[in-house]
Structure formats: C-alpha cells, structure tokens
Structure 1
C-alpha cells in the first residue's frame, strides 16, 4: 500500500522488481527486517522473501548461498534497471543482488555470468557501468 492509497499484490518477487524503484525496495527491506527482527518467518513465502532480501542487503561470506555457488551452473543473468538489482538464476538456486554492492562471487561464477550475457529490457547506462565493473 502506497502513501497515495494505491496498492498492488505480487506473488513473484521478480515481478515486483519490474515496477519497484530503489526507494521501494529499501522500504520493503526495512519493513520485512522489522517484522523478523525478533522472530523467524514461519510460512514458506515469507521465508523466501526474507532470505532474498537479507542476501541482497546483508551479504556475508559465510552464508550458504555464497559457499555453495561453485556447485551450480549459471542459467541466466538479468538486470532490473528500475531498482538497480541484478538476478542470477542458477541450478537449484537464485540470487538477487544490488548493482551498487560487492558480493563474494567466485571467479567461476563471474565467468559463467559473462558467458550467459546480461539480459536487459532496454539499453541502459546502468547495464553498461555494471558490466564494466564486473569485468574489472
């Protein structure tokens, strides 16, 4: 629910990212973090959302998602330009990452990302800058 009274229901996180900007994403993260500061999510969808947001905003080298990445092949790589998020779909795992943050990706994962090529809906400066950053 937005301040202007408009609301939208999303079932799939990637659909939400298509219409969110960075402010929307940060607000969602703050709301979900506040909700689960003292408790853990019980329902599967809440757990998935919380884990995706936590991985995105609070990446820790020791997290399972980073330790296990060498076990999975990158299937696709997509940029959600409106909110500055890129998405890796891997075998048995998916990772949402903020363009502006550094994540503990292995050289092998980075190579697979570049081989798959970044999927974007339209040419953007953010995509160009992001690729330059990855290649360095």
Structure 2
C-alpha cells in the first residue's frame, strides 16, 4: 500500500492479580462493616397511670335470617342483601329467596336488597326484630 511493511500487532499478557497496583485493589474491596451493633442505651418509658376499666360495647353477633320476595309475592333467588353500614358483608339469596347475615346483636341497622332488573329496597330494623325478616323487592 504505501510502501511500509505490515507489522503484527503486539499483544500484552493479561495482568495477574499480583501485578495489579495496591491502590486499585483497595478501591475494589468493599468497605469494612462491623460484625455486631452496640446496644443503644435504654430510655425508660414515661410512667403512665393505670388504665381505667373500659366499657366495651356488646360485640356479640347473631345470625339474621330473612326472605326476599318480588312484588308478585314469589321468592327472588340471586338477590344481594347487605347492611348499609358494611357493604363488604354481602349475602346472596338462594333458590327459595332465603338469606342469612351475621350482624351485631341488639343493634339497629338497615339492610339493602338489590337485584338488577327489579331495583333495590332498603329496610330499617331495630335491635329486636322478629325472625325471619321479609323484604319485598322493588318497593
């Protein structure tokens, strides 16, 4: 080409671990960590008065049974019944229109029954409701 003879490229042997400079080795080493932590000095908790007796509400549950009927008086299967205060607690009526819900004892609450195509109905119950509860859907 231009008149200079071609020369083979020189290769250097790979540097061995011993040949690396000391500064480079120190940079590659992770920082030293303590093997254990020293315990912190315990801080005493402030003294509090003895807790007073707390009167908790009656949290017992009972099974509320009911029946959902259509405007024609026939049982409605597949109706969703739930307390309006807890929409995550849902009961679905069976083929005879019957349902059961666990509700707090001696507590006034309202139930809502919903079914697509028939509408929804809300019924208020006092704490001493006769069993089973009858809900007429669509009223």
TM-score tier by shorter-chain length is: under 0.3
Which is higher, the Rg of structure 1 or of structure 2? 2
Q: If each structure's helix is expressed as a fraction of its own residues, which one has the higher value?
A: 1
More strand by share: 2
